Chain A
Amino acid sequence: MSKQNRHSLLATAPSHILWTVEHNGIRIFNRQSDRHYVLEYPAAAVWDLLIRKRSIAQLIPILRAIQQVSAGEAVALVQQCLKDWHQQGLIEIEEPDGESVDHHPVQ
Protein backbone atom coordinates (compact mmCIF):
# COMPACT_ATOMS: atom_id res chain seq x y z
CA MET A 1 0.00 0.00 0.00
CA SER A 2 1.37 3.40 -0.95
CA LYS A 3 1.87 6.16 1.58
CA GLN A 4 -0.81 8.18 -0.16
CA ASN A 5 -3.29 5.36 0.21
CA ARG A 6 -2.52 4.99 3.87
CA HIS A 7 -3.27 8.68 4.30
CA SER A 8 -6.61 8.13 2.59
CA LEU A 9 -7.79 5.57 5.14
CA LEU A 10 -11.18 6.15 6.69
CA ALA A 11 -12.29 5.14 10.16
CA THR A 12 -15.85 4.22 11.03
CA ALA A 13 -17.53 3.35 14.29
CA PRO A 14 -19.30 -0.04 14.30
CA SER A 15 -23.03 0.05 14.96
CA HIS A 16 -22.58 -1.01 18.59
CA ILE A 17 -20.54 2.12 19.30
CA LEU A 18 -22.44 5.22 20.40
CA TRP A 19 -20.81 8.56 21.00
CA THR A 20 -21.78 12.01 22.09
CA VAL A 21 -20.14 15.41 22.25
CA GLU A 22 -19.68 16.63 25.81
CA HIS A 23 -18.38 19.82 27.33
CA ASN A 24 -14.72 18.79 27.55
CA GLY A 25 -14.50 16.11 24.91
CA ILE A 26 -16.32 13.04 23.65
CA ARG A 27 -17.97 10.17 25.50
CA ILE A 28 -18.09 6.80 23.80
CA PHE A 29 -20.23 3.84 24.83
CA ASN A 30 -19.54 0.33 23.62
CA ARG A 31 -22.88 -1.48 23.79
CA GLN A 32 -21.24 -4.88 23.32
CA SER A 33 -18.84 -4.58 26.23
CA ASP A 34 -21.03 -2.16 28.19
CA ARG A 35 -17.98 0.09 28.67
CA HIS A 36 -17.72 3.88 28.60
CA TYR A 37 -14.74 5.83 27.36
CA VAL A 38 -14.15 9.55 27.76
CA LEU A 39 -11.86 11.17 25.20
CA GLU A 40 -10.34 14.49 26.16
CA TYR A 41 -8.55 16.83 23.78
CA PRO A 42 -6.63 16.36 21.52
CA ALA A 43 -7.89 12.77 21.12
CA ALA A 44 -11.47 14.07 21.02
CA ALA A 45 -10.63 16.07 17.89
CA VAL A 46 -9.02 13.04 16.24
CA TRP A 47 -12.13 10.95 16.97
CA ASP A 48 -14.49 13.60 15.68
CA LEU A 49 -12.64 14.24 12.45
CA LEU A 50 -12.04 10.56 11.69
CA ILE A 51 -15.57 9.47 12.41
CA ARG A 52 -16.89 12.28 10.23
CA LYS A 53 -15.03 10.70 7.31
CA ARG A 54 -12.14 13.11 7.22
CA SER A 55 -9.26 11.21 5.67
CA ILE A 56 -6.00 11.20 7.53
CA ALA A 57 -4.51 13.44 4.85
CA GLN A 58 -7.23 15.99 5.57
CA LEU A 59 -6.95 15.55 9.29
CA ILE A 60 -3.24 16.20 9.74
CA PRO A 61 -3.18 19.96 8.93
CA ILE A 62 -6.20 20.54 11.15
CA LEU A 63 -4.64 18.57 13.97
CA ARG A 64 -1.34 20.41 13.57
CA ALA A 65 -3.15 23.70 13.98
CA ILE A 66 -5.33 22.57 16.87
CA GLN A 67 -2.43 21.11 18.81
CA GLN A 68 0.32 23.41 17.55
CA VAL A 69 2.58 20.49 16.75
CA SER A 70 4.65 19.33 13.80
CA ALA A 71 3.25 17.09 11.10
CA GLY A 72 5.25 14.19 12.52
CA GLU A 73 3.77 14.68 15.97
CA ALA A 74 0.26 14.94 14.54
CA VAL A 75 0.77 11.71 12.58
CA ALA A 76 2.08 9.99 15.70
CA LEU A 77 -0.98 11.03 17.66
CA VAL A 78 -3.34 9.75 14.97
CA GLN A 79 -1.38 6.52 14.75
CA GLN A 80 -1.63 5.96 18.50
CA CYS A 81 -5.34 6.76 18.55
CA LEU A 82 -6.06 4.40 15.65
CA LYS A 83 -4.13 1.63 17.32
CA ASP A 84 -5.80 2.06 20.70
CA TRP A 85 -9.33 2.43 19.36
CA HIS A 86 -8.97 -0.45 16.95
CA GLN A 87 -7.76 -2.68 19.77
CA GLN A 88 -10.64 -1.54 21.93
CA GLY A 89 -13.09 -2.34 19.15
CA LEU A 90 -14.23 1.26 18.88
CA ILE A 91 -13.44 1.70 15.20
CA GLU A 92 -13.11 -0.18 11.96
CA ILE A 93 -10.66 1.06 9.36
CA GLU A 94 -11.59 1.17 5.70
CA GLU A 95 -9.74 1.92 2.55
CA PRO A 96 -11.37 4.53 0.32
CA ASP A 97 -13.01 1.79 -1.78
CA GLY A 98 -14.94 0.74 1.32
CA GLU A 99 -13.03 -2.48 1.99
CA SER A 100 -12.62 -3.13 5.71
CA VAL A 101 -9.05 -3.88 6.71
CA ASP A 102 -7.05 -4.60 9.83
CA HIS A 103 -5.23 -1.69 11.39
CA HIS A 104 -2.45 -0.26 9.24
CA PRO A 105 0.14 1.94 10.83
CA VAL A 106 0.08 5.47 9.45
CA GLN A 107 3.36 6.85 8.22
Chain B
Amino acid sequence: MPDLSDRHIFIIPVQDKFLLHAPLLKLSALVNRSAAGAIRAALASGAAAENADSRLQPLLDVLRQPPLLPPAPNGAEISPAFLGIVTTRACNSACVYCDFGAPGASGRAMDLQTAVAAVDWYARLLKQQEKELLEIHFFGGEPMTAPAVVETVVHRARLVAARERLTPYFEISTNGLCGPALLAFLGDYVNRVVLSFDGREDIQNLHRPLRGGRGSYPGVFAAAQYLSDSPAQLVIRCCVSQINVDIMEDTARWFCETFNPSLINFEIMQPVESAAAAGLYPPDPYEFAANFIKARRAAESFGIKTVYAADLSTEPVYTSCPVGSDTVIVSPDGRISSCYLLPEKWQEVGLDLALGEMRGRRELAINPAAVQNIRAMVTNKPRCEKCFCRWSCAGGCHVGNTYPGCSADYSDYCRQTRIISACSLLDELNLPEMADTLIDDREALPALACRESDRLMEWEV
Protein backbone atom coordinates (compact mmCIF):
# COMPACT_ATOMS: atom_id res chain seq x y z
CA MET B 1 0.00 0.00 0.00
CA PRO B 2 1.53 3.36 -0.98
CA ASP B 3 1.91 6.21 1.43
CA LEU B 4 -1.26 8.26 0.85
CA SER B 5 0.63 11.38 1.73
CA ASP B 6 2.68 10.93 -1.44
CA ARG B 7 3.91 14.46 -1.84
CA HIS B 8 6.26 13.93 -4.66
CA ILE B 9 3.70 13.15 -7.36
CA PHE B 10 2.39 16.25 -9.11
CA ILE B 11 -0.37 16.95 -11.59
CA ILE B 12 -0.21 20.10 -13.71
CA PRO B 13 -3.04 21.40 -15.91
CA VAL B 14 -2.06 22.02 -19.51
CA GLN B 15 -5.15 23.33 -21.29
CA ASP B 16 -7.56 20.36 -21.35
CA LYS B 17 -4.90 17.79 -20.40
CA PHE B 18 -2.61 17.15 -17.45
CA LEU B 19 1.07 16.61 -16.95
CA LEU B 20 1.78 13.89 -14.43
CA HIS B 21 5.20 14.61 -12.98
CA ALA B 22 7.06 12.56 -10.40
CA PRO B 23 10.62 13.92 -10.47
CA LEU B 24 11.84 11.63 -7.69
CA LEU B 25 10.74 8.67 -9.79
CA LYS B 26 11.94 10.29 -13.02
CA LEU B 27 8.50 9.89 -14.51
CA SER B 28 6.53 12.35 -16.61
CA ALA B 29 3.46 11.70 -18.74
CA LEU B 30 0.69 13.62 -20.42
CA VAL B 31 -2.71 12.26 -19.44
CA ASN B 32 -6.30 13.32 -19.85
CA ARG B 33 -8.60 14.20 -16.96
CA SER B 34 -10.13 10.75 -16.77
CA ALA B 35 -6.72 9.04 -16.61
CA ALA B 36 -5.47 11.52 -14.01
CA GLY B 37 -8.51 10.81 -11.87
CA ALA B 38 -8.09 7.06 -12.23
CA ILE B 39 -4.43 7.25 -11.23
CA ARG B 40 -5.25 9.37 -8.23
CA ALA B 41 -8.02 6.99 -7.16
CA ALA B 42 -5.83 3.94 -7.63
CA LEU B 43 -3.00 5.44 -5.59
CA ALA B 44 -5.37 6.67 -2.88
CA SER B 45 -7.11 3.36 -2.46
CA GLY B 46 -4.17 1.12 -3.19
CA ALA B 47 -6.50 -0.50 -5.68
CA ALA B 48 -5.44 -3.65 -7.40
CA ALA B 49 -4.31 -3.20 -10.93
CA GLU B 50 -7.44 -4.69 -12.37
CA ASN B 51 -9.58 -1.93 -10.90
CA ALA B 52 -7.79 0.67 -12.97
CA ASP B 53 -7.56 0.88 -16.73
CA SER B 54 -4.92 -1.67 -17.66
CA ARG B 55 -3.21 0.91 -19.90
CA LEU B 56 -2.39 2.86 -16.75
CA GLN B 57 -0.78 -0.11 -15.07
CA PRO B 58 2.80 0.69 -16.19
CA LEU B 59 2.43 4.20 -14.78
CA LEU B 60 0.98 2.91 -11.52
CA ASP B 61 3.78 0.39 -11.17
CA VAL B 62 6.34 3.20 -11.32
CA LEU B 63 4.33 5.57 -9.12
CA ARG B 64 4.14 2.93 -6.41
CA GLN B 65 7.90 2.71 -6.18
CA PRO B 66 9.54 4.48 -3.25
CA PRO B 67 10.89 7.87 -4.32
CA LEU B 68 14.63 8.39 -4.51
CA LEU B 69 15.75 11.61 -2.87
CA PRO B 70 18.58 13.41 -4.63
CA PRO B 71 22.01 12.99 -3.10
CA ALA B 72 22.69 15.86 -0.73
CA PRO B 73 26.01 17.17 0.51
CA ASN B 74 26.56 15.28 3.71
CA GLY B 75 29.17 14.54 6.28
CA ALA B 76 30.85 16.96 8.58
CA GLU B 77 33.26 18.20 5.95
CA ILE B 78 32.36 20.67 3.26
CA SER B 79 32.25 19.27 -0.27
CA PRO B 80 32.12 22.26 -2.63
CA ALA B 81 30.45 22.12 -6.03
CA PHE B 82 33.14 24.63 -7.05
CA LEU B 83 35.42 27.32 -5.68
CA GLY B 84 34.29 30.88 -6.46
CA ILE B 85 36.75 33.76 -6.53
CA VAL B 86 35.38 37.30 -6.42
CA THR B 87 38.50 39.01 -7.71
CA THR B 88 37.14 42.51 -7.00
CA ARG B 89 33.81 44.27 -6.47
CA ALA B 90 34.91 47.07 -8.83
CA CYS B 91 33.59 47.22 -12.37
CA ASN B 92 34.28 49.19 -15.54
CA SER B 93 30.59 49.11 -16.52
CA ALA B 94 27.62 50.91 -15.02
CA CYS B 95 24.78 48.48 -15.74
CA VAL B 96 21.61 50.15 -14.57
CA TYR B 97 20.29 47.06 -12.79
CA CYS B 98 23.49 45.90 -11.14
CA ASP B 99 22.93 44.45 -7.67
CA PHE B 100 26.42 43.10 -7.18
CA GLY B 101 27.53 46.20 -5.38
CA ALA B 102 29.65 47.52 -8.24
CA PRO B 103 28.41 51.14 -8.18
CA GLY B 104 30.45 52.73 -5.45
CA ALA B 105 32.44 49.58 -4.79
CA SER B 106 36.03 50.00 -3.76
CA GLY B 107 38.60 49.13 -6.37
CA ARG B 108 40.24 46.72 -3.99
CA ALA B 109 41.39 43.54 -5.66
CA MET B 110 41.93 40.26 -3.86
CA ASP B 111 45.38 39.86 -2.42
CA LEU B 112 47.34 37.36 -4.56
CA GLN B 113 48.36 35.38 -1.48
CA THR B 114 44.70 35.02 -0.48
CA ALA B 115 43.89 33.77 -3.97
CA VAL B 116 46.67 31.20 -3.84
CA ALA B 117 45.63 30.08 -0.35
CA ALA B 118 42.09 29.46 -1.62
CA VAL B 119 43.30 27.40 -4.56
CA ASP B 120 45.67 25.36 -2.40
CA TRP B 121 42.99 24.72 0.22
CA TYR B 122 40.55 23.54 -2.44
CA ALA B 123 43.12 21.27 -4.10
CA ARG B 124 44.00 19.69 -0.75
CA LEU B 125 40.33 19.10 0.00
CA LEU B 126 39.75 17.47 -3.39
CA LYS B 127 42.68 15.13 -2.85
CA GLN B 128 41.42 14.19 0.61
CA GLN B 129 37.99 13.50 -0.83
CA GLU B 130 39.44 11.62 -3.81
CA LYS B 131 37.86 13.95 -6.33
CA GLU B 132 39.45 15.02 -9.59
CA LEU B 133 37.78 18.17 -10.89
CA LEU B 134 39.32 21.41 -9.66
CA GLU B 135 36.53 23.75 -10.75
CA ILE B 136 36.98 27.46 -10.20
CA HIS B 137 34.53 30.24 -11.14
CA PHE B 138 35.43 33.93 -11.28
CA PHE B 139 32.94 36.62 -10.30
CA GLY B 140 32.95 40.40 -9.74
CA GLY B 141 32.26 43.33 -9.99
CA GLU B 142 34.02 42.74 -13.24
CA PRO B 143 36.61 40.07 -12.52
CA MET B 144 38.88 41.14 -15.38
CA THR B 145 39.43 44.56 -13.82
CA ALA B 146 41.72 42.61 -11.50
CA PRO B 147 43.53 40.54 -14.16
CA ALA B 148 46.52 39.67 -12.00
CA VAL B 149 44.20 37.78 -9.62
CA VAL B 150 42.68 35.79 -12.48
CA GLU B 151 46.10 35.03 -13.97
CA THR B 152 47.50 34.01 -10.60
CA VAL B 153 44.58 31.72 -9.80
CA VAL B 154 44.61 30.11 -13.25
CA HIS B 155 48.34 29.45 -13.24
CA ARG B 156 48.47 28.36 -9.61
CA ALA B 157 45.55 26.01 -10.15
CA ARG B 158 47.14 24.55 -13.28
CA LEU B 159 50.45 24.14 -11.46
CA VAL B 160 48.81 22.39 -8.50
CA ALA B 161 46.56 20.33 -10.76
CA ALA B 162 49.56 19.06 -12.73
CA ARG B 163 51.33 18.14 -9.50
CA GLU B 164 48.32 16.52 -7.84
CA ARG B 165 46.79 14.93 -10.94
CA LEU B 166 43.65 17.02 -10.80
CA THR B 167 41.76 18.36 -13.80
CA PRO B 168 41.44 22.15 -13.78
CA TYR B 169 38.24 23.77 -15.06
CA PHE B 170 37.63 27.50 -15.17
CA GLU B 171 34.51 29.58 -15.70
CA ILE B 172 34.21 33.36 -15.65
CA SER B 173 31.27 35.76 -15.66
CA THR B 174 32.49 38.85 -17.50
CA ASN B 175 31.43 41.85 -19.56
CA GLY B 176 34.27 41.12 -21.98
CA LEU B 177 35.57 44.70 -21.82
CA CYS B 178 39.13 43.80 -20.96
CA GLY B 179 41.08 44.33 -24.18
CA PRO B 180 42.49 41.91 -26.74
CA ALA B 181 45.38 40.51 -24.70
CA LEU B 182 43.22 39.51 -21.74
CA LEU B 183 40.48 38.22 -24.02
CA ALA B 184 43.12 35.99 -25.59
CA PHE B 185 44.01 34.77 -22.11
CA LEU B 186 40.36 33.92 -21.44
CA GLY B 187 40.05 32.19 -24.79
CA ASP B 188 43.11 30.05 -24.14
CA TYR B 189 42.66 29.13 -20.48
CA VAL B 190 39.04 29.48 -19.44
CA ASN B 191 36.74 26.60 -20.30
CA ARG B 192 33.53 28.60 -20.20
CA VAL B 193 33.16 32.35 -20.59
CA VAL B 194 29.76 33.68 -19.55
CA LEU B 195 29.51 36.99 -21.40
CA SER B 196 26.97 39.59 -20.28
CA PHE B 197 25.39 40.72 -23.53
CA ASP B 198 21.80 41.94 -23.68
CA GLY B 199 21.33 42.15 -27.45
CA ARG B 200 21.55 44.66 -30.25
CA GLU B 201 23.17 48.05 -29.83
CA ASP B 202 20.20 50.03 -28.53
CA ILE B 203 19.33 47.49 -25.82
CA GLN B 204 22.93 46.77 -24.80
CA ASN B 205 23.73 50.46 -24.41
CA LEU B 206 20.49 51.16 -22.55
CA HIS B 207 20.91 48.26 -20.12
CA ARG B 208 24.66 48.23 -19.78
CA PRO B 209 26.26 51.64 -20.31
CA LEU B 210 29.86 52.25 -19.45
CA ARG B 211 30.84 54.63 -16.70
CA GLY B 212 30.34 58.12 -18.10
CA GLY B 213 27.40 56.99 -20.18
CA ARG B 214 29.21 55.73 -23.28
CA GLY B 215 27.85 52.60 -24.92
CA SER B 216 29.40 49.22 -24.17
CA TYR B 217 28.12 47.64 -27.37
CA PRO B 218 31.22 47.91 -29.61
CA GLY B 219 33.49 46.34 -26.99
CA VAL B 220 31.12 43.54 -26.08
CA PHE B 221 30.39 42.80 -29.73
CA ALA B 222 34.13 42.51 -30.41
CA ALA B 223 34.56 40.26 -27.37
CA ALA B 224 31.75 37.97 -28.49
CA GLN B 225 33.28 37.74 -31.94
CA TYR B 226 36.70 36.92 -30.55
CA LEU B 227 35.41 34.34 -28.09
CA SER B 228 33.26 32.72 -30.78
CA ASP B 229 36.47 31.68 -32.54
CA SER B 230 38.43 30.79 -29.41
CA PRO B 231 38.73 27.39 -27.72
CA ALA B 232 36.58 28.66 -24.83
CA GLN B 233 32.92 27.80 -24.66
CA LEU B 234 30.97 31.04 -25.11
CA VAL B 235 27.80 31.43 -23.06
CA ILE B 236 25.84 34.61 -23.74
CA ARG B 237 23.98 35.81 -20.66
CA CYS B 238 21.15 38.09 -21.72
CA CYS B 239 19.30 40.07 -19.10
CA VAL B 240 15.66 40.80 -19.88
CA SER B 241 13.64 43.84 -18.82
CA GLN B 242 10.23 45.04 -19.95
CA ILE B 243 12.05 46.78 -22.81
CA ASN B 244 13.48 43.72 -24.54
CA VAL B 245 11.12 40.95 -23.43
CA ASP B 246 9.12 41.01 -26.64
CA ILE B 247 12.22 40.76 -28.84
CA MET B 248 13.79 37.76 -27.12
CA GLU B 249 13.15 35.52 -30.11
CA ASP B 250 14.76 38.00 -32.50
CA THR B 251 17.64 38.51 -30.07
CA ALA B 252 18.28 34.77 -29.81
CA ARG B 253 18.26 34.45 -33.59
CA TRP B 254 20.64 37.38 -33.94
CA PHE B 255 23.05 35.91 -31.36
CA CYS B 256 23.05 32.61 -33.25
CA GLU B 257 23.54 34.22 -36.66
CA THR B 258 26.24 36.63 -35.54
CA PHE B 259 28.26 34.64 -33.00
CA ASN B 260 29.00 31.06 -32.11
CA PRO B 261 27.63 30.60 -28.60
CA SER B 262 27.38 27.15 -27.08
CA LEU B 263 24.53 28.37 -24.86
CA ILE B 264 22.31 31.40 -24.49
CA ASN B 265 21.14 32.13 -20.96
CA PHE B 266 18.14 34.42 -20.45
CA GLU B 267 17.50 35.84 -16.98
CA ILE B 268 15.23 38.60 -15.76
CA MET B 269 16.70 41.84 -14.47
CA GLN B 270 16.62 42.44 -10.75
CA PRO B 271 14.27 45.19 -9.54
CA VAL B 272 16.73 47.68 -8.07
CA GLU B 273 16.28 51.40 -7.47
CA SER B 274 18.79 52.46 -10.10
CA ALA B 275 16.91 50.47 -12.74
CA ALA B 276 13.56 51.92 -11.76
CA ALA B 277 15.07 55.39 -11.95
CA ALA B 278 16.11 54.60 -15.51
CA GLY B 279 12.62 53.34 -16.33
CA LEU B 280 13.60 49.67 -16.40
CA TYR B 281 11.54 47.00 -14.68
CA PRO B 282 11.48 43.22 -14.63
CA PRO B 283 9.34 41.82 -17.47
CA ASP B 284 5.85 40.48 -17.03
CA PRO B 285 6.35 36.82 -16.01
CA TYR B 286 3.90 35.49 -18.60
CA GLU B 287 5.52 37.47 -21.38
CA PHE B 288 8.96 36.40 -20.25
CA ALA B 289 8.02 32.72 -20.14
CA ALA B 290 6.27 32.78 -23.52
CA ASN B 291 9.09 34.67 -25.19
CA PHE B 292 11.69 32.44 -23.59
CA ILE B 293 10.07 29.43 -25.25
CA LYS B 294 9.98 31.27 -28.59
CA ALA B 295 13.65 32.23 -28.18
CA ARG B 296 14.44 28.62 -27.36
CA ARG B 297 12.80 27.49 -30.58
CA ALA B 298 14.71 30.09 -32.59
CA ALA B 299 18.05 29.03 -31.09
CA GLU B 300 17.21 25.35 -31.51
CA SER B 301 16.93 25.88 -35.25
CA PHE B 302 20.66 26.77 -35.14
CA GLY B 303 21.44 23.78 -32.91
CA ILE B 304 22.08 26.08 -29.93
CA LYS B 305 20.61 25.48 -26.51
CA THR B 306 18.86 28.20 -24.53
CA VAL B 307 18.82 27.97 -20.76
CA TYR B 308 17.04 29.51 -17.80
CA ALA B 309 18.67 28.91 -14.43
CA ALA B 310 15.62 27.51 -12.65
CA ASP B 311 14.41 25.37 -15.56
CA LEU B 312 13.78 21.65 -15.30
CA SER B 313 16.95 19.81 -14.29
CA THR B 314 18.07 16.44 -15.55
CA GLU B 315 18.39 15.20 -11.96
CA PRO B 316 16.39 16.24 -8.90
CA VAL B 317 18.21 18.89 -6.86
CA TYR B 318 17.90 20.61 -3.48
CA THR B 319 19.10 23.91 -4.91
CA SER B 320 19.52 25.47 -8.33
CA CYS B 321 22.03 28.08 -7.19
CA PRO B 322 25.48 27.82 -5.58
CA VAL B 323 23.99 28.26 -2.09
CA GLY B 324 23.26 24.87 -0.59
CA SER B 325 25.66 22.91 -2.73
CA ASP B 326 28.56 23.64 -0.39
CA THR B 327 30.01 26.15 -2.83
CA VAL B 328 32.80 28.20 -1.33
CA ILE B 329 33.01 31.81 -2.55
CA VAL B 330 35.98 33.90 -1.47
CA SER B 331 35.49 37.69 -1.50
CA PRO B 332 38.26 40.22 -2.19
CA ASP B 333 38.58 40.93 1.54
CA GLY B 334 39.02 37.23 2.34
CA ARG B 335 35.51 36.62 3.65
CA ILE B 336 34.18 33.20 2.73
CA SER B 337 30.53 32.56 2.01
CA SER B 338 28.29 30.37 -0.09
CA CYS B 339 26.85 33.29 -2.10
CA TYR B 340 28.55 35.78 -4.40
CA LEU B 341 26.16 38.60 -3.50
CA LEU B 342 27.25 41.22 -1.00
CA PRO B 343 26.70 40.13 2.63
CA GLU B 344 24.34 43.09 3.09
CA LYS B 345 22.00 41.52 0.55
CA TRP B 346 21.58 38.28 2.43
CA GLN B 347 21.65 39.90 5.83
CA GLU B 348 18.71 42.10 4.74
CA VAL B 349 16.52 39.00 4.50
CA GLY B 350 17.82 37.46 7.70
CA LEU B 351 20.19 34.97 6.13
CA ASP B 352 23.67 34.16 7.27
CA LEU B 353 25.54 32.66 4.34
CA ALA B 354 29.00 33.15 5.81
CA LEU B 355 31.06 29.97 5.84
CA GLY B 356 34.26 31.17 7.43
CA GLU B 357 37.21 33.46 6.94
CA MET B 358 40.84 33.61 6.02
CA ARG B 359 43.29 33.05 8.88
CA GLY B 360 46.04 35.50 8.13
CA ARG B 361 46.55 35.34 4.37
CA ARG B 362 47.33 31.66 4.14
CA GLU B 363 44.59 29.48 5.63
CA LEU B 364 40.90 29.11 4.99
CA ALA B 365 38.93 28.39 8.13
CA ILE B 366 35.50 26.88 7.40
CA ASN B 367 32.92 26.75 10.18
CA PRO B 368 31.29 23.27 10.05
CA ALA B 369 28.14 24.51 11.83
CA ALA B 370 27.65 27.18 9.14
CA VAL B 371 27.91 24.51 6.46
CA GLN B 372 25.23 22.43 8.17
CA ASN B 373 22.94 25.45 8.67
CA ILE B 374 23.05 26.39 5.00
CA ARG B 375 22.44 22.79 3.91
CA ALA B 376 19.39 22.70 6.17
CA MET B 377 18.13 26.11 5.03
CA VAL B 378 17.77 25.10 1.38
CA THR B 379 15.69 22.05 2.25
CA ASN B 380 13.17 24.11 4.21
CA LYS B 381 11.09 25.95 1.62
CA PRO B 382 7.44 26.22 2.66
CA ARG B 383 6.46 28.01 -0.57
CA CYS B 384 7.93 25.24 -2.69
CA GLU B 385 6.46 22.23 -0.92
CA LYS B 386 3.44 21.88 -3.18
CA CYS B 387 5.06 23.12 -6.38
CA PHE B 388 6.02 20.71 -9.14
CA CYS B 389 9.29 22.63 -9.57
CA ARG B 390 10.26 21.66 -6.01
CA TRP B 391 13.05 19.38 -7.23
CA SER B 392 14.35 21.47 -10.14
CA CYS B 393 14.01 25.20 -9.42
CA ALA B 394 14.05 24.32 -5.71
CA GLY B 395 13.29 27.91 -4.77
CA GLY B 396 15.61 29.69 -7.20
CA CYS B 397 17.66 32.38 -5.55
CA HIS B 398 17.54 31.74 -1.81
CA VAL B 399 18.24 35.42 -1.14
CA GLY B 400 15.95 37.08 -3.66
CA ASN B 401 13.10 34.61 -4.03
CA THR B 402 12.60 32.13 -1.23
CA TYR B 403 14.37 33.53 1.81
CA PRO B 404 13.18 32.35 5.24
CA GLY B 405 9.92 34.02 6.18
CA CYS B 406 9.07 35.02 2.62
CA SER B 407 5.46 35.01 1.49
CA ALA B 408 3.95 31.59 0.83
CA ASP B 409 2.45 32.96 -2.38
CA TYR B 410 4.18 32.45 -5.66
CA SER B 411 6.32 35.34 -6.88
CA ASP B 412 6.57 36.45 -10.50
CA TYR B 413 9.79 34.45 -10.63
CA CYS B 414 7.87 31.36 -9.49
CA ARG B 415 5.14 31.89 -12.08
CA GLN B 416 7.49 32.24 -15.01
CA THR B 417 9.52 29.27 -13.78
CA ARG B 418 6.38 27.12 -13.55
CA ILE B 419 5.39 27.94 -17.13
CA ILE B 420 8.88 27.39 -18.52
CA SER B 421 9.25 24.13 -16.60
CA ALA B 422 5.89 22.83 -17.84
CA CYS B 423 6.92 23.64 -21.41
CA SER B 424 10.23 21.85 -20.83
CA LEU B 425 8.32 18.80 -19.61
CA LEU B 426 6.24 18.88 -22.81
CA ASP B 427 9.42 19.19 -24.87
CA GLU B 428 10.89 16.21 -23.04
CA LEU B 429 7.77 14.25 -23.90
CA ASN B 430 8.35 15.24 -27.52
CA LEU B 431 5.27 17.44 -27.51
CA PRO B 432 6.73 20.85 -28.42
CA GLU B 433 3.63 21.81 -30.37
CA MET B 434 1.61 21.58 -27.14
CA ALA B 435 4.07 23.91 -25.43
CA ASP B 436 3.80 26.33 -28.34
CA THR B 437 0.01 26.31 -28.09
CA LEU B 438 0.12 26.67 -24.32
CA ILE B 439 2.25 29.83 -24.29
CA ASP B 440 -0.31 31.60 -26.49
CA ASP B 441 -3.26 30.54 -24.33
CA ARG B 442 -3.83 33.42 -21.93
CA GLU B 443 -6.41 31.49 -19.92
CA ALA B 444 -4.40 28.30 -19.52
CA LEU B 445 -1.21 30.08 -18.43
CA PRO B 446 -2.54 31.60 -15.19
CA ALA B 447 -4.32 28.32 -14.39
CA LEU B 448 -0.95 26.61 -14.55
CA ALA B 449 1.20 29.37 -13.08
CA CYS B 450 -0.92 30.29 -10.06
CA ARG B 451 -2.11 26.89 -8.92
CA GLU B 452 -1.65 26.67 -5.17
CA SER B 453 -0.90 22.98 -4.98
CA ASP B 454 0.31 20.61 -7.69
CA ARG B 455 0.16 17.56 -5.45
CA LEU B 456 -1.83 14.82 -7.09
CA MET B 457 -3.33 13.77 -3.78
CA GLU B 458 -4.63 17.28 -3.12
CA TRP B 459 -6.15 17.64 -6.56
CA GLU B 460 -9.89 18.26 -6.65
CA VAL B 461 -10.82 15.99 -9.54
- A interface residues (Cβ-Cβ under 8 A, vs B): 21, 23-25, 40-42, 44-45, 48-49, 52-53, 58, 61-62, 64-68
Contact = CB atoms under 8 A, between A and B. Distances in A.
Contacts of A62: 112, 148, 151-152, 155
Contacts of A45: 155, 158-159
A63 B152 CA distance: 8
A57 B113 CA distance: 17
B48 interface: no
A66 B155 contact: yes
B181 A52 contact: yes
A61 B184 CA distance: 21
Given A40-B162, A62-B151, A66-B155, 18 more contacts: A21-B189, A24-B162, A25-B158, A41-B155, A41-B158, A45-B159, A52-B181, A52-B185, A61-B112, A62-B148, A62-B152, A64-B112, A65-B112, A65-B113, A65-B115, A65-B152, A66-B116, A67-B159
Interface of B: 112-113, 115-116, 148, 151-152, 155-156, 158-159, 162, 167, 181, 184-185, 188-189, 231
Contacts of A68: 116
A66 B159 contact: yes
A65 B181 contact: no
Nearest to B115: A65
A41 B162 contact: yes
A24 B189 CA distance: 11
Nearest to A25: B162
Which among B148, B155, B181 has the highest number of chain A CB atoms within 10 Å?
Answer: B155
A48 B159 CA distance: 13
Nearest to B189: A21
Contacts of A67: 159
Contacts of B184: 52
A49 B158 CA distance: 14
A62 B146 CA distance: 12
A7 B448 CA distance: 66
Contacts of A66: 116, 152, 155-156, 159
A90 B159 CA distance: 22
B151 A49 contact: yes
Contact of B159 (A42, A49, A64): A42
B435 to A, nearest CB: 41
Contacts of A42: 155, 159
A31 B116 CA distance: 36
Nearest to B156: A66
A21 B188 contact: yes
A21 B232 CA distance: 12
B132 to A, nearest CB: 13
A68 B362 CA distance: 11
Contacts of A49: 151, 155
Which 7 A-B pairs give the minimum distances between C-beta atoms? A65-B112, A41-B159, A45-B155, A24-B162, A21-B188, A66-B155, A66-B156
A48 B158 CA distance: 13
A35 to B, nearest CB: 22
B172 to A, nearest CB: 15
